[in-house]
Amino acid sequence: MTVVLVHGNPETEAIWGPLVTALGRDDVVRLSPPGFGAPLPADFPMTHLAYRDWLEGEVERIDGPIDLVGHDWGGGHVINLVMHRPELVRSWASDVLGILHPDYVWHDMAQVWQTPGAGEDVVEAMTGGSLDDRAAGLVALGIPEGVAGELAAAQTPEMGRAILALYRSAAQPAMAEAGRSLGNAAARPGLALLATEDHYVGSDEIRRDAAARAGARTEVLDGLGHWWMLQDPARGAQVLADFWLSLS
């Protein structure tokens, strides 16, 4: 088996460090989407479908069976993949299924990124300033200092361009339309990670409903927020390990 982890925005693979340690496995692969801790090719479209196709290509090159796990937009890329090519994985897990629900409304910052002019201004502010200032902003969001420093170093104008293009490609009704294919994901065992204090990805109700449509079991991470893998890596690792064990 191979565990494949995919992170989101505005992140790098550093967010997985404590979880990988807690898993205690030597078969874990961390993939960084273009622009998010990995080079951004000049001709890469940076749309949510382009990232899906990128992930499919990466997964095809990894020895399986594969247990695919995604966080934030990485979770979006994961569910997009399993709706399109479920045969590529043994199982999947995502913490953002709510974004594919027809009633989902993008969070406030996403709506700013999706707005021409305002989005550019925010991204310029986010990627500008000193490294220490950027890291401090991430710490304020609940990211530990060490990891925040690594993420801040990767918050470049290149990442800013990727953020704007990705979020604009996913402005509603794009994700609601994509969510019509959620049932395809049921072809492989799925796990919906529901961190109760994550307020970026929709209400508990729509997250549960989207998970049901995808044929996924829901595991509640009570009291944890968006960066659950940093807040309590041991609990996150145990939830994932129990899920994978149940598939044996």
Residue 8 domain flag: yes
Residue 138 domain flag: no
- The whole-number pLDDT of residue 92 equals 98
Residue 75 domain flag: yes
Residue 128 domain flag: no
Residue 223 domain flag: yes
- The whole-number pLDDT of residue 171 equals 97
Contact 1, 90 (CB under 8 A): yes
- The whole-number pLDDT of residue 227 equals 97
Residue ranges of the chain whose pLDDT lies below 70: none
Residue 149 domain flag: no
Residue 6 domain flag: yes
User: Domain count of the chain?
Assistant: 1
- The whole-number pLDDT of residue 34 equals 98
Residue 136 domain flag: no
Domain that holds residue 184: 2-104+175-246
CATH number at residue 88: 3.40.50.1820
